[in-house]
Amino acid sequence: MTYEEVVAMMEEMNLPFAYDHFVEGESPEPPFAVFLYPGSSNFPADGRVYYKSSRLNIEIYTDLKNPELEFTVEAVLDLHGIFYEKSEVWIETENLYEVLYQMEV
């Protein structure tokens, strides 16, 4: 999945989003999303990269638990046939929930 395809998929989630982070002072009110490529999981063969695969994280930030929004995000990922792992944490210093979707694309 190319960067452009990921951006198009993010647009389908109908949330303000940015790559990695918003510029200081320009973060929108929650809910919002960020996505980033924290690494790769390439497959080797004959001493070189045979198949390239990038890890993709999509982070959804909300001030209140929002199962409906999570359902919407998951429906978009499902529509694109993406297998994902999901976790959640409360960020006390920011007073925000972070729902993290991790996948390979």
Average pLDDT estimate for 74-82? 98
| Under 8 Å between Cβ of 58 and 74 | no
Mean pLDDT of the chain, nearest integer: 95
Is the pLDDT confidence value at 99 over 90? Answer: yes
Summarised one tens digit per residue, pLDDT across range 34-74 is 999 999 888 899 999 998 899 999 999 999 999 999 999 99
CATH class of 3-104: alpha beta
Q: Give residue 25's pLDDT.
A: 87
**Where are the domains positioned within the chain?**
3-104
Burial call 49-83: b when 16+ CB within 10 Å, e when fewer: eeeeebebbbbbbbeeebeebbeebbebbeeeebe
